A = this chain, B = another copy of it.
Amino acid sequence: MPRIRHKRLDCSPGCAVEATLELIDGKWKGVILFHLLQGTLRFNALRKLLPNATQRMLTMQLRELEEDGFIHREIYPQVPPKVEYSLTGHGRTLEPVILALKSWGDAHTGFGKSKRAPVAPEQIEAVSETQ
């Protein structure tokens, strides 16, 4: 169940804007959701995509997104453990929001053109993924 974090909001009708932002403005959450829109990703793949996020921070954000019902964590009982993250149906409803943020950022923030190539599966080390 999504956590309730809006008890103190009293700003109708604009509150809906703030309530949405509160759910996605945790550090790196927007980027995580953006990458998961492209498909399922393993923890280490996400780490490669967000090199400046610490493992602890990334884990925390993934946990919150999971608690809010936006992402699903699938653990495969194998050695080494394989953990995959994907968007839930609820998470996918955020697509227009994430794409609007991306589109504006591309046009106005100077982050529009990637200087880094996408991470290829073979670049991702086969290390333990217990996050």
- Residues of chain A whose beta carbon lies under 8 Å from any beta carbon of chain B: 6, 8-21, 23-25, 28, 30-35, 49-53, 90, 93-94, 96-112, 114-116, 118
B52 and A34 contacting across the interface, CB-CB below 8 Å: no
Which B residues lie within 8 Å of A51 (CB)? 10-11
Interface of A is mostly: helix
Cα distance, A12 to B116, chains bound together (Å)? 7
Supplied contacts A10-B51, A18-B31, A93-B104, 16 more A-B pairs, CB within 8 Å: A6-B109, A6-B111, A8-B52, A10-B52, A14-B30, A14-B32, A14-B34, A14-B102, A17-B30, A17-B102, A20-B30, A25-B25, A90-B108, A93-B108, A97-B101, A100-B100
A21 to B23, CA, bound (A): 12
B52 touches A28 (CB 8 A): no
Name the residue on B nearest A23 (C-beta).
B109
> Could you pull out 30 A-B pairs where Cβ atoms are within 8 angstroms?
A6-B109, A8-B52, A9-B111, A10-B51, A10-B116, A11-B49, A11-B51, A11-B52, A12-B116, A13-B118, A14-B31, A14-B32, A14-B35, A14-B102, A15-B105, A15-B111, A16-B102, A16-B105, A16-B111, A16-B112, A17-B101, A19-B109, A19-B111, A20-B30, A20-B104, A20-B108, A21-B24, A21-B101, A94-B104, A97-B104
